[in-house]
Structure 1
Amino acid sequence: MHGDFMTVQSAPSLKKRLILMGALMTLLVVGLVGFTLFKRAMMQKYLTGGAAHPPQVVTAQVIQWTNWQPSFDTIGSLRAARGVQISVEVAGMVRRVAFKAGDEVQAGQTLVEMVDDAERAALQAQIAGLELARLTLKRDEAQYAVHAISQAQLEVDRADVDSRTAQRDQALALLAKKKVTAPFAGQMGITLVNPGQYLNPGDKIATLQTVHQLLVDFNLPQQFLGRIAVGQWVHLSFEAWPGKTFAARVVARNPEVDASTRNVSVEARLEPGTASLLPGAFAHVTWDYDRAAPRLTLPQSAIAFNPYGATVFVIQRGPGGTPPKAQQVFITTGATRGDQIAVLSGLKAGDEVVTSGQLKLKSGMSVALSTAAAPPFAAAPTPQEQ
């Protein structure tokens, strides 16, 4: 009797425990499923923009019309209209240097005299031989007139006169080479030649340059062939003369395009009165190839260039006190000028465009405007030391 009673008491207790455990498991599963669904819903809401992003700090600029001068900048090199390295043609010892470094010389002026005693003696011998040959020819012509000599002898005498004349002229030319003269007017450079120095053929004496008439050589890409023409003006600037420009007129264009660079060489002549410039100087060349026209311009840093196109972020201000938002738009860009770039389409005057901080933006994001770090926007930027 006692054992049966224990069995009856245990059965209800085990059943209650099983029911309680089932209820707890059900609550646990429902809680886990509910938490998972809630987390998924919150994540979806955040990714779709339901959660508020903090405003991103950016700088912006209102795009306006600018008087745009289309120009092309390149580099050039100055050279004299006429310049040469003076050298000697024949070997010999220097007797006299007839100029000083920096002298202005005229065409034909003597620059260097070399020892020419042997050449002068040889010339006198050739002159004496020529005089004898002429006397012989004159005497034989008189004898030939009375048939005292043959015509063959007379022809030999004439040939001897011609030969000795050529030898005299050769001696004169050799003697002339012992004196180096200026081939044209100009300014002499520094020389290291001194009297008593022996020179070989081809040895350099000094440079001669027409520094009062300078040319500038520069290259243009082949796409400008239809725009460049003789008579147009270019403007030069030099690091040695900051803030000063020099004008030069185009005088020639190479008749062929360089096959390796696809550039064409252009030559321009500087205006007179540029004595401060020297041949060989490096020049910044600016060529205005078209008339000025109004263009919408932006700083180049405001534009993101991608394979699918150029884009910018435009500020859209909301009603009331709501923060402004950034909207990405496609644009078409044109030429560049310093920090500026022309905008051909996609924007209109008065649009407020993000100029920095756009890398962290997406369309529809809220922004906070700041002017503390506005990018440069100059047609002729100048590097600044920090």
Structure 2
Amino acid sequence: MKKTIIFAIIGLVLLIGVLGGVKGLQINRMIAQGKQYVPPPETVTTAVVQSSTWPNELTAVGSLEAVQGVMVAAELSGKVVKIAFEPGRAVKAGELLIQQDTTSEAAQLRAAEASMQLARLNLERARELLPENVITQSNFDNVEAEFKQAAAQADTIRAIIAKKTIRAPFAGRLGLRLVNLGQTLNEGEPIVSLQSMDPIFVNFQLPQQELTKLQRGLSVTLTSDALPGKTIEGAITAVNPQVDRTTRNIRVQATVANTKEQLRPGMFVNVAVVLPEDRMVLTIPSTAVLYAPYSDSVFIVEDPPDDTDASSKSVARQQFLRLGDTRGDYIAVLSGLKEGQTVVSTGAFKLRNGQSVVVDNTLSPEFDLAPHPEEG
């Protein structure tokens, strides 16, 4: 009985060994086949690295600001008896906005004007009597001072009435109404925002090392997410003489036309300062770039090695590079490529380093420095 058990165990061990050996051979064969496996060539489109002349620009993010902007507020306390504007409407300089109650001041003005009229008559009589020595010089001076005091009192009341008659200080567009009819306004209480819309300022900052390139009159271009596909032109009108001690940036102000009032104070825009001299850059289609956190790369299409047969396909070699700014469908290459090299323009995402490729540029899309997408 014991011998039978021993033989059974030995047989089981031998069976396991045979099965393990067979499985090991199969695994080794699969590994060898994997090493020898060559993926089929992928069909791609290509583009040649070209040298192009691009405008030399300094880019920044700017903020729009009205050339003149103010929150119209009450100068004196008083009850609102008339609202003469509509929110959001354009107004001219001097146009009436709010009328506060001036009935008390109007009555005081009539009394002051009557006193001033009497003082004027007394002054005229005294001026006629003075040469005849009917009155003394001292009396004449007193009469003249009384007239001036009466005139000043009337002017003071007129000034109060003018301050309670609130008008637009300049031409612009009004904001939302913040007061109601019959409301008693306190001194300094806001009434409505008034912003001049055309032209408009754009403020932005550039690093201090760019200071020597900046001067008044340089052209700037503005783009905004609020105006997709549109570019607005302007010019630098002021460069701050002082550099910010914290950021070491210099503040620049440009002025742009805004006849259609599409730009509003407070909006942010992308600003590009166009420098006088153009620059030479290497360009490739932006679709050729594989973006990654560690480094961006492209695939260069190269001829097969010399030791292969003539029927071998071209191969794709991954190349890491450093990129610059973008113009339309193209992107500038700062380092990593040379002029005349061929890169995969579409289909790079499905490649791996050293893979063979088949070039079919009949499928290549058209690339443009200033594309105009069709509106759907």
The normalised TM-score by structure 1 is 0.66
User: CA 1:327–1:99 in structure 2 vs 1: closer, same or farther (change >3 Å)?
Assistant: closer
User: CA 1:303–1:72 in structure 2 vs 1: closer, same or farther (change >3 Å)?
Assistant: farther
Matched residue, 2:341 = 350
Residue 67 (str. 1) matches residue 67 (str. 2): no
For the residue of structure 2 that corresponds to 1:226, the secondary structure is: helix
Cα deviation, 1:323-382, whole Å, max 9, x if unaligned, reads 999999999x685447834346884532669x989xx9xxxxx832569xxxxx99899x
Report the alpha carbon displacement of residue 112 of structure 1 after superposing the two structures with TM.
0.8
Instruction: Name whichever of 199-208 and 268-277 sits farther off.
Output: 268-277
Report the alpha carbon displacement of residue 300 of structure 1 after superposing the two structures with TM.
7.1
CA distance in 2, matches of 1:275, 1:98: 23
Matched residue, 1:106 = 92
Residue 249 (str. 1) matches residue 221 (str. 2): no
Instruction: Name whichever of 339-348 and 54-63 sits farther off.
Output: 54-63
CA distance in 1, matches of 2:151, 2:136: 23
CA distance in 2, matches of 1:174, 1:121: 12
CA distance in 1, matches of 2:46, 2:294: 19
Q: Is the 8 A contact 2:299 2:348 kept in 1?
A: no
Query: AA paired with 2:204?
Result: F
For the residue of structure 1 that corresponds to 2:259, the secondary structure is: coil
- Which residues of 2 match residues 51-62 of structure 1 at below 5 A? none
Q: What runs of 5+ residues in structure 1 fail to find an aligned partner?
A: 1-51, 361-365, 372-376, 382-386
Report the alpha carbon displacement of residue 226 of structure 1 after superposing the two structures with TM.
2.4
Structure number with larger C-alpha Rg: 1
CA distance in 1, matches of 2:80, 2:293: 69
- Which residues of 2 match residues 265-280 of structure 1 at below 5 A? 265-280=251-266
Residue 153 (str. 1) matches residue 144 (str. 2): no
- Which residues of 2 match residues 186-265 of structure 1 at below 5 A? 186-265=172-251
Query: AA paired with 1:65?
Result: Q
CA distance in 2, matches of 1:195, 1:316: 83
User: CA 1:223–1:123 in structure 2 vs 1: closer, same or farther (change >3 Å)?
Assistant: same
In the comparison of the two structures, how many residue pairs are matched? Answer: 314
Q: Is the 8 A contact 2:76 2:186 kept in 1?
A: yes
Q: Is the 8 A contact 1:296 1:349 kept in 2?
A: no
CA distance in 1, matches of 2:126, 2:293: 100
Residue 318 (str. 1) matches residue 305 (str. 2): yes
Instruction: Name whichever of 63-72 and 340-349 sits farther off.
Output: 340-349
CA distance in 1, matches of 2:357, 2:133: 119
User: CA 1:297–1:145 in structure 2 vs 1: closer, same or farther (change >3 Å)?
Assistant: closer
Report the alpha carbon displacement of residue 269 of structure 1 after superposing the two structures with TM.
2.3
User: CA 1:107–1:370 in structure 2 vs 1: closer, same or farther (change >3 Å)?
Assistant: same
For the residue of structure 2 that corresponds to 1:254, the secondary structure is: strand
The normalised TM-score by structure 2 is 0.68
User: CA 1:263–1:255 in structure 2 vs 1: closer, same or farther (change >3 Å)?
Assistant: same
For the residue of structure 1 that corresponds to 2:76, the secondary structure is: coil
Query: AA paired with 2:230?
Result: K
CA distance in 2, matches of 1:330, 1:85: 54
Query: AA paired with 1:179?
Result: T
Q: Is the 8 A contact 2:203 2:252 kept in 1?
A: yes
- Residue 368 of structure 1: which of 349, 355, 363 is its match? 355
Matched residue, 1:180 = 166
Report the alpha carbon displacement of residue 89 of structure 1 after superposing the two structures with TM.
0.7
Q: Is the 8 A contact 1:323 1:367 kept in 2?
A: no
Q: Is the 8 A contact 2:323 2:331 kept in 1?
A: no
User: CA 1:328–1:304 in structure 2 vs 1: closer, same or farther (change >3 Å)?
Assistant: farther
Q: Is the 8 A contact 2:77 2:184 kept in 1?
A: yes
Matched residue, 1:97 = 83
Aligned-residue RMSD, C-alpha: 4.1
CA distance in 1, matches of 2:292, 2:89: 57
Query: AA paired with 1:367?
Result: G
Matched residue, 1:295 = 281
Cα deviation, 1:87-110, whole Å, max 9, x if unaligned, reads 111110001001111222221111
User: CA 1:325–1:277 in structure 2 vs 1: closer, same or farther (change >3 Å)?
Assistant: closer
Residue 132 (str. 1) matches residue 118 (str. 2): yes
CA distance in 2, matches of 1:112, 1:318: 85
Cα deviation, 1:34-54, whole Å, max 9, x if unaligned, reads xxxxxxxxxxxxxxxxxx999
Cα deviation, 1:278-326, whole Å, max 9, x if unaligned, reads 22222122333354444334677689999xxx99997684212489999
CA distance in 2, matches of 1:304, 1:239: 26
Residue 168 (str. 1) matches residue 144 (str. 2): no
Q: Is the 8 A contact 1:323 1:368 kept in 2?
A: no
Report the alpha carbon displacement of residue 213 of structure 1 after superposing the two structures with TM.
2.5
CA distance in 1, matches of 2:343, 2:193: 60
For the residue of structure 1 that corresponds to 2:202, the secondary structure is: strand
CA distance in 2, matches of 1:76, 1:184: 25
Q: Is the 8 A contact 1:98 1:112 kept in 2?
A: yes
